Structure 1
Amino acid sequence: MPHQSTMDFSQLRVAYQGVPGAYSQLAAEKAYPNCEAVPCEQFETVFEAVEKRLVDRAVLPIENSLGGSIHRNYDLLLRHRLHIVGEVNVRIRHCLLANHGVKLEDLKRVLSHPQALAQCENRLAKLGLIREAADDTAGSAEYIANHQLKDVGALASATAAKIYGLHVLAEDVQDSPYNITRFMMLARKPIVPMSGRPFKTSIVFTLNEGPGELFKALAVLSLRQINLTKIESRPNRDVKNGSLKCFNYFFYLDFEASMADEAAQNAVKNLEEFASSLRVLGSYPSDVSMT
């Protein structure tokens, strides 16, 4: 398989959630250089665009190093039948943007996505700015530009500032320099897993109730020296016998192994023996970069 950077993605349409200038667009263009990045309004719209063949791929956030998991996308992974074919890490560098001529002391409020506001909470508090939540970061930049607001700023990327003709009042306003979002790359068909390079596999499963069941599930990896990198639980909303079954969960696992490896194959086969359901979401190359 050729390295990503040497491949031609110019004919590829890649969906992302948000408007131009969103961090998800930056992730799509990092994952598939020179692709046609296609904005979508909602996360679910992105999944549907791939399923309906309106686009070839999708790139969606799955977790942030400060804010944690994006639970909505875990739920959508289960509802739809797309496959994870890769991952891409993007360093999130928030800028405080305003219209030209507006100074820092003129600002009273700042708009952005709730996660972005939380990631910059201390800095914004020191500036005495009132935080207001919006649907996304780049959308906030677009809003203050379109309405020519003079006392409102936006938290967004430097790319968004260029697109919407805004001035960067301050760079890197996040409270921690270690602010990484991991994005998953989705397609209608899985890729063929390989050996000999860093791979990651994502699975989701359910377990019967009983003591030690989750311990047994995790042991199928540890006994084979397979490193678990992520575990996430989400409520099982299946309705059975006319009532909502509570405190029953789907478990999502990421582990460092390729399904081309015998150890990973045996681990999944072992888990299938006692899991009440199991699905491999994808086996794909790891992104070892942090920028």
Structure 2
Amino acid sequence: MSGRRAAFQGERGAFTEEALISYFGDSVEVVPLRTLEEVFSAVESGAADYGVVPAENSLAGSVGETYDLLLSHDLRVHGEVVLRVEHHLLSVEGASLDRIREVWSHPQAIDQCRRFLASLGAEVAPMSNTALAAKRLAERRDPSIGVIASRRAAAIYGLSVLASNLEDDESNYTRFFVLSRESRPPTGDDKTSIIFSTRHEPGSLYRCLEPFASRGINLTKIESRPIRSRPWEYNFYLDMEGHGLDPAISAALEELSRRATFVKILGSYPRWR
């Protein structure tokens, strides 16, 4: 991946950057951006070769903004990364756990560490990004403030780890999509993601799913998202095992296109191991 650029939303040390490094290794050039919209636009324009964006968390569910952007941008899902999320309490050198009076972090990280925070008894202040919280603390150098962030953020911003594995549930994983302008050939162990919408009438969703069931295609996810400007109507996001060029999936997608009112193939990509 030498010479390639991969964009992500947030500051250096964010969990998305950790997923990016896990996927590409250290040879890729990392491009931090402010928003998910900027990540999609950077890949679409060619300013970045790839983008890495959060898709869903095993505890908190899907990232709605990512799925909405997949609908509105002409990109392909090039790969996926599944990251075990480990939260740590960080502070400046010389700080101690009993001196922490305030904790900064992203609202989702705060929610995932409720038991620890209750035992700590500190005030909690939400921030837009776990790594941004670490960066701000590194600038402020206040030993009464802690941040919940990754161990990678501690190394980047010169902070100390005061407590580890703070999450209430050990089954805390986040799935990320790797975005590209290019499609992937089959590998033999792939997944395919699509979006479709149905007619607003009885049995329409059943008719759209039947082509997959009749061909023995395993669906690994189905989720609805509201269609903007059409109240109480929905797009359906679907993941399945296999590649879009596999004969059974290709035939099912062709049949779906005749039964649905809209179909968009987001991409076929190797399953994360």
Q: TM-score scaled by structure 2?
A: 0.97
Unaligned runs of 5+ in 2: none
Match of 2:89 in 1: 96
- Judge conservation of contact 2:207–2:259 (CA < 8 Å) in 1: no
* Residue number among 101, 107, 110 corresponding to 2:100 in the alignment: 107
Structure 2 CA distance, aligned partners of 1:284 and 1:73?
17
| Deviation per residue, 1:38-81 (Å, 9 max, x gap) | 10111001011112211111111100111110000000111111
Structure 2 CA distance, aligned partners of 1:142 and 1:173?
20
Deviation at 1:210, TM superposition (A): 0.7
* Residue number among 213, 222, 235 corresponding to 1:250 in the alignment: 235
Match of 1:5 in 2: none
* Residue number among 67, 89, 94 corresponding to 1:74 in the alignment: 67
For the pair 1:168 / 2:161, whether they are aligned, the reply is yes
Match of 1:131 in 2: 124
Give aligned pairs, total.
272
Residue 245 of structure 1 aligns to a residue whose secondary structure is: coil
Written as runs of structure 1 = structure 2, the 5 A alignment for 1:1-291 is 9-33=1-25, 34-192=27-185, 194=186, 197-237=188-228, 244-288=229-273
Residue 115 of structure 1 aligns to a residue whose secondary structure is: helix
Structure 2 CA distance, aligned partners of 1:10 and 1:179?
31
Deviation at 1:131, TM superposition (A): 2.0
Q: TM-score scaled by structure 1?
A: 0.91
Unaligned runs of 5+ in 1: 1-8, 238-243
Deviation at 1:129, TM superposition (A): 2.3
Residue 267 of structure 1 aligns to a residue whose secondary structure is: helix
Deviation at 1:218, TM superposition (A): 2.1
RMSD: 1.1
Structure 1 CA distance, aligned partners of 2:82 and 2:22?
9
| Deviation per residue, 1:256-281 (Å, 9 max, x gap) | 11112111011111111110010100
4+ residue segments displaced more than 3 Å: none
Percent identical: 42
Residue type matched to 2:134 in 1? A
Structure 1 CA distance, aligned partners of 2:124 and 2:37?
27
Structure 1 CA distance, aligned partners of 2:48 and 2:100?
40
Structure 2 CA distance, aligned partners of 1:129 and 1:255?
44
| Deviation per residue, 1:112-164 (Å, 9 max, x gap) | 11111111112211221222110101110011110112221101111100111
Residue type matched to 1:219 in 2? E
Structure 1 CA distance, aligned partners of 2:142 and 2:203?
57
